[in-house]
Structure 1
Amino acid sequence: MRLLRSARNDKTEERREFLLQTTLDAGALLLQYFGKIGLAHAQSKENISINVVSQADLQSQELVVRRIRKSFAGESILAEEGDLAKKKKKLEKGSLWVLDPLDGTVNFLHGFPYFGVSLAYCHDGVPLIGAVYDPVRGELFWAEKGKGAYLESVEFRVLSVELKKKKKLRVTNIKKLADALMVTGFGYDRHKRADFYLAYYKAFLTRCHDVRRAGAAALDLAWIAAGRADGFWEWQLNPWDVAAGQILVEEAGGRITHLDGSPYSIFHSEETLASNGNIHDECLKAITTVVRV
């Protein structure tokens, strides 16, 4: 499906336009499956019953990977499904595309309308362009390093898609954790480590305005960038969960670190804290109150 944009010959935009178009098309593919396949059509990954993959994940990834290999031959790809997920420790240098073909697979399979596609282009491990697309709401969140973060509404036409109502994103101005709406998620080991995750949940729930758990980390980070929530923490994430989200948060004026406050790397994303920046130190302090079990 072709994206309608004003004609420009600026070569620096080629990679960004490719990324946005491909993300939109992968999202359109997901919508074709949504509501038509469920848990009965999914398979467990790594013998973990709650970590599942569906035909929608695989078809979305195939579409994106095929296009990258055609348009940017020789550039590395790190994606969630199959062998492409096993290379992450070898890709910290050079050009790299990082893909989550279906962020929120469990939501998708249950018919819960909170899922999307996440795609980022990185160089030497740093996200330079990223997009997260929510096909249910028709919302495309994207950012480019040094040029800001944006939300565009997607309007479908016959054989084409037009982006409308472009809005520059900005994180919230909430000053105190007590007034903040926090977002979190739980790792695939949550059945075995429920007490561990709930200890952190309690630490925030007793200090902030409220906590939400929606089940799609890339979209969660996009919502932080869009000012719909104030902070986010999660364990056990992977580069494809956070690469686009990192640049969205940072370009929208927010802050993202590891849970100890150290500078963030998508290749060490097992601990992630993102916020509007104002409440970040309070979030770090809340984390230190938990005795790890």
Structure 2
Amino acid sequence: MQEEINILKINDSVKKAGNLFLKTYKQHPIPERTEDLLKKLYQIDECCISFLKVDLAEEFPDTPWLIGDEFDTNAQRNPAEFPEYWLCDAMDGAIQYLQHIPGWTINLALIREGEIYYSVIYDPLADELFWAKKGEGAFMNDIRIQPGNKIDFSSMVAVFEYGHQDKSNNDLIQKTGATIINLLETFGVVRNYGPHGLQLAYVAAGRIDLFIQEDLDTFNWLAGILIAKEAGVEILTTEGQPYYWGSESLLVAKKEAAQKYLQINK
């Protein structure tokens, strides 16, 4: 395990991977059948992780790779049992990519001793790369980022998300519905955008004021969580407790916005 990591090389690799997909964006028909959609999603994962493995092999010859399968609920509850590994959400927002609409990114996180040590999120359409190293701040390209300074809740932008958990045997649908009502009653603008990690990076950069999700979605969150945390944002559960790996909800916002939401959600 390296004491120092080559940040420029990691960021460059993720950008190159994203730009590979940018070249073929909107060049293929939109999938019309479920089997075609699933096949395309698998191909995206394989293409992205294969490229990154090769491109980063010299710098990290012994670091294993895991794909962040958001459909695998159990795997998201705890870190893998490696001292260090790459966790790749090959394309966050792959549905948007296949539907020929914006809102897709390449996300990569380096996990050390069960914690997020480094993460990067690249948006090829905007040519914006968000990244953070544990204890060293958060950046967009080469500029340090920080959350917004809004104090007027009616001007704040809140976003909600939901994952791929089986919602047939729990109350997640009801919780999500109640969450949306609470957001509409509290914040001026409420949206559902799509790429989870990018939304967390947007909170870190002051573009979004609050992110909330009621179900387990660890792999979609991890890269963005470190970026938001390093920018000085609150990382909580929807019950107001500190977030930990495997938490079944996520609330990310500046302290004032998080407290406001928690007050109305009592």
- Three-state SS of the structure 2 residue aligned to 1:25 is helix
Instruction: Decide which of 149, 157, 160 is 1:184's aligned counterpart.
Output: 160
C-alpha spacing 1:30/1:24, structure 2 compared with 1 (3 Å): same
User: Could you tell me how far 1:196 is from its partner in structure 2?
Assistant: 3.7
The answer for the alignment partner of 2:258 in structure 1 is 280
Instruction: Decide which of 108, 117, 122 is 2:97's aligned counterpart.
Output: 108
Deviations 1:206-257 (A, max 9, x none): 1111111111101111111111011100133433311211111111111111
Partner Cα distance (2:98, 2:3) in 1? 38
Partner Cα distance (2:111, 2:117) in 1? 5
The answer for the alignment partner of 2:200 in structure 1 is 221
- Three-state SS of the structure 2 residue aligned to 1:278 is helix
C-alpha spacing 1:269/1:43, structure 2 compared with 1 (3 Å): farther
C-alpha spacing 1:109/1:262, structure 2 compared with 1 (3 Å): same
User: Could you tell me how far 1:51 is from its partner in structure 2?
Assistant: 11
The answer for the alignment partner of 1:20 in structure 2 is 11
Structure with greater strand share of residues? 1
C-alpha spacing 1:40/1:122, structure 2 compared with 1 (3 Å): same
The answer for the alignment partner of 1:160 in structure 2 is none
Q: Which runs of 5+ in 1 are unaligned?
A: 1-10, 153-165, 289-293
1:60 equivalenced with 2:24 (yes/no):
no
1:146 equivalenced with 2:135 (yes/no):
yes
AA aligned opposite 1:109:
L
The TM-score normalised by the length of structure 2 is: 0.84
Partner Cα distance (1:39, 1:195) in 2? 32
User: Could you tell me how far 1:194 is from its partner in structure 2?
Assistant: 4.5
User: Could you tell me how far 1:285 is from its partner in structure 2?
Assistant: 2.7
Q: Which runs of 5+ in 2 are unaligned?
A: none
1:172 equivalenced with 2:167 (yes/no):
no
C-alpha spacing 1:280/1:33, structure 2 compared with 1 (3 Å): same
C-alpha spacing 1:279/1:83, structure 2 compared with 1 (3 Å): closer
Partner Cα distance (1:181, 1:113) in 2? 19
User: Could you tell me how far 1:62 is from its partner in structure 2?
Assistant: 2.1
User: Could you tell me how far 1:183 is from its partner in structure 2?
Assistant: 1.2
C-alpha spacing 1:51/1:258, structure 2 compared with 1 (3 Å): farther
Confirm or deny: 8 A CA contact 1:176 1:278 kept in the other structure. Answer: no
Confirm or deny: 8 A CA contact 2:229 2:235 kept in the other structure. Answer: yes
Confirm or deny: 8 A CA contact 1:43 1:52 kept in the other structure. Answer: no
Higher mean Cα deviation, 238-247 or 191-200?
191-200
The answer for the alignment partner of 2:235 in structure 1 is 256
Partner Cα distance (1:194, 1:39) in 2? 28
Aligned length: 261
1:131 equivalenced with 2:110 (yes/no):
no
Identity %: 24
C-alpha spacing 1:61/1:270, structure 2 compared with 1 (3 Å): farther
Give the 4+ runs in structure 1 shifted more than 6 A: 49-52, 82-86
User: Could you tell me how far 1:15 is from its partner in structure 2?
Assistant: 3.6
C-alpha spacing 1:82/1:29, structure 2 compared with 1 (3 Å): farther
Confirm or deny: 8 A CA contact 2:70 2:220 kept in the other structure. Answer: no
The TM-score normalised by the length of structure 1 is: 0.77
AA aligned opposite 2:14:
T
